[in-house]
Amino acid sequence: MLSRSAAGPSIVDREVTKFGDVAAEWWDPRGSFKPLHALNPVRVAFIRDALCEGFGREAARVAPLAGLSILDVGCGGGILAEALARLGANVTGADASADSIAVARAHAAGDPSLHVTYRDATAEQLVAEGAQYDAVVASEVIEHVADAAAFMRALGALAWPGGMVAVSTLARTPRSYALAIIGAEYIISLVPRGTHDWSRFINPEELTMLGNEAGLALDRMAGMSYNPLTGRWRRSDDTGTD
């Protein structure tokens, strides 16, 4: 999507607390954030390919995102931010949870070659500062905010004119309820119970409408599907779940 607009408050305190309480587990591939570690290669590849196409880069290069400034909103412990930095980008990770930011900073300190910095800040705070980036990413975040429309406007305002905004979220469909709530939280315990609120999930057409209202033009869309037998995710044309 392409971007710029205004912003409003989006923080839900209980959501920030929920993730802050398990912040120590961000980099445990078998802990509460195991699904994010599993799907990270798929979302990173999608973002890389979209940015390379949008900015005229060659995805097969060693550092295809070199020189690009990227903001990862709701970065948590830095799983996505670090992966994008390893592709050469100058990444800023921002999160409303000070506990998560502390974990992200500590982990990134283990690799001084990474061009990644972290801010204990909201998207709206960064908008107020006048911050702007080549690309803005919000992965699995919009379903946790108080005002999705205001949040989307903030994401648009944080990208330079002609920049790009990437958003991923779970779709609010019967299938996602069966898989993400009943299956993932209650049957196979892939994530802790209460991680998701199905009523906050956003369907692709709703996300498109929110983007249009924020002045963002949809450029590409893809889904992700999970194979419980292999524990692996893959990119898919089916957007009925994620």
β-strands 116-120, 69-73 pairing: unpaired
d(Cα 12, Cα 18) in Å, to the nearest integer?
A: 10
d(Cα 122, Cα 213) in Å, to the nearest integer?
A: 21
d(Cα 237, Cα 188) in Å, to the nearest integer?
A: 25
144 is in an annotated binding site: yes
Cβ 100 vs Cβ 73: under 8 Å: no
237 is in an annotated binding site: no
Cβ 88 vs Cβ 60: under 8 Å: no
SS3 233: strand
30 is in an annotated binding site: no
- If one counts every other C-beta atom within 10 angstroms of the C-beta of residue 161, the result is 8
95 is in an annotated binding site: yes
Neighbouring residues of 161: CB distance < 8 A, sequence distance ≥ 6: 3, 4
200 is in an annotated binding site: no
175 is in an annotated binding site: no
107 is in an annotated binding site: no
d(Cα 38, Cα 34) in Å, to the nearest integer?
A: 6
Direct distance between the N- and C-terminal alpha carbons of the chain, in angstroms, rounded to an integer:
17
Residues flagged as binding site for Mg(2+): 140, 143-144
Residues flagged as binding site: 43, 74, 95, 139-140, 143-144
Residues flagged as binding site for S-adenosyl-L-methionine: 43, 74, 95, 139
